[in-house]
Amino acid sequence: MIAGRTLQCPSCGGSVRVHAVGYTVTVACQYCGSELDVAHPDVRLITEYHRDATRLSLPLGSRGMVFGTEYEAIGALERTDGDAAWTEYLLFNPYAGYRWLVDYDGEWTFGVMLVDRPDGDAETVTWRGARFTRDGAAQTIETTRVHGEFYWRAWAGDRVEAVAFERGDETLSGERTGDELTWTHLVPVPRRDIGQAFGRDDATPPRVSPSGGGVASRAVANFARMPASDERDLAAMLGLAFTTVAMILMVMAFLSGPVTRAYTRVQVPIGATREGLKIGTITVSRSWQFVTITADSENFTNRWVDLDYSLVNRATQQSIDAYGLVEFYAGRDSDGSWTEGSHHARTLVSHVPRGTYDVYVDASAHDWPNDPAPDASNPWGMSETTSVWIEARTGGVPWGNFWTMVVLLAAAPCMMLWWRLRNGDSE
């Protein structure tokens, strides 16, 4: 595809091949790493190194078809921002020009240098009608090692100020060196496609620390490296998840036990308290059960009702206390109308021992922001009341605990499935 020429490294004597003749300015010797100036007929030594060649995940000189065009990898830059390191491969096609292929810990992106620069400010830019949002702060990126040939004078120690703008999977990367600003448009490419295009089965899988720590444990990493299976695998996992949830519900329903109910309606005074109102009697027939108490009020606004429940064991006269609250507020502000609260309240009393219980409530209601003041139309001082229907029954399901259990059970399989599919798509 590319007619090149071969020259001799003045440092180590190794043969260095230049692929993009007429375009290349600098070349890094593949044997000793020395940086050579090939812009002139006589090869000049820019920086002399004596170091072993680095094993690149994409060997220089390899060719591959990317987005319908065959490119040759002619150069590579090892770069870092101080926290992470990655490799940027320079691709060349004599008709399409230069492109970039970036390997960031096994995640590959394909980059095209922009001629039409984006417009915008420090937070957002627009390019070809699409809006990109800034991703993080500007960073200083340093080139730590140079391999192959480049169309500019590239050497280890180069530093640029870089900033990234994102829109979905697309990234606009801007790099500034002095007064020069260059932009590159980057899109992700699955690792599998890179391996197939360049004939590489080892196109840098994601790193796992030798001790098994890091981003994922050794077990999760081994699972992630397994090839993604077909739809039957996903269906089996979903079936197992639904079966587990159904079993949990059945166990909780069984533990809730036989149901007995007590029901009454109470008139709750506003600004006062009615004490010792008996709701009824219930019987706990198991060693222990949940007891559920629900309260439903008439429609009111800007009011709350305090409900102090007591379950008194007839045999021991010991009391189990619980609290309920019915409240509803409404109003209007600069954002419009709003409401808060509900006319329904549910109180779950856990671990109630076997026995017969009389259920009582102390109830009081209050208006917000102030209780109504006595007036001449109410000479006997009788308080206004609000109606509340209260039901106490044995049994009940602690839905908060149920959903917490579901999330905990699903967390590990979902994470492993995500890793598996993610790595399967890019292998």
Question: For residue 357, which amino acid is it?
Answer: Y
Q: Supply the pLDDT for residue 266.
A: 94
CA distance 332 to 314: 49
Decide: helix, strand or coil at residue 309: strand
Nearest CA to 203 out of 367, 417, 56 is that of 56
Topology given in CATH for the domain delimited by 261-394: Jelly Rolls (2.60.120)
Name 150's bridge partners: 26
pTM higher than 0.85, yes or no? no
387 to each of 107, 266, 281, 309, how far by Cα in Å?
Answer: 64, 6, 21, 17
Spell 379-393 as b/e; 16+ CB within 10 A means b. eeeebebbebebbbb
78 vs 12, more confident: 78
Confidence of residue 422 (pLDDT cuts 50, 70, 90): low
Whether omega for the bond prior to residue 369 falls within 30 degrees of 0, making it cis, is yes
φ, ψ dihedrals at 10, nearest 5° = -70, -10
Mean pLDDT of 369-382: 65
CB-CB contact of 19 with 61 (8 Å): yes
113 to each of 81, 97, 110, 427, how far by Cα in Å?
Answer: 21, 10, 10, 26
For 43-95, the pLDDT digits (tens) are 554 454 445 455 788 888 889 999 999 999 988 999 999 889 999 999 999 88
For 16-37, the pLDDT digits (tens) are 666 665 555 566 666 565 666 5
CB-CB contact of 34 with 47 (8 Å): yes
Mean pLDDT of 101-123: 91
Q: Supply the pLDDT for residue 222.
A: 40
Nearest CA to 177 out of 157, 162, 164, 163 is that of 162
CA distance 330 to 216: 49
The helix or strand, by DSSP H or E, that contains position 95, with its residue range, turns out to be none
CA distance 183 to 204: 26
CA distance 230 to 351: 46
Chain CA centroid to CA 174, Å: 26
Q: What is the three-state SS of 220-288?
A: HHHHHHCCCCCHHHHHHHHHHHHHHHHHHHHHHHHHHCCCCEEEEEEEEEECCEEEEEEEEEEEEEEEE
Is a pLDDT exceeding 90 seen at residue 304? Answer: yes
Decide: helix, strand or coil at residue 378: coil
For 199-214, the pLDDT digits (tens) are 876 555 544 433 333 3
- Which positions ≥6 away from 106 have C-beta within 8 Å? 191, 203, 204, 205, 206, 207, 426
CA distance 148 to 273: 87
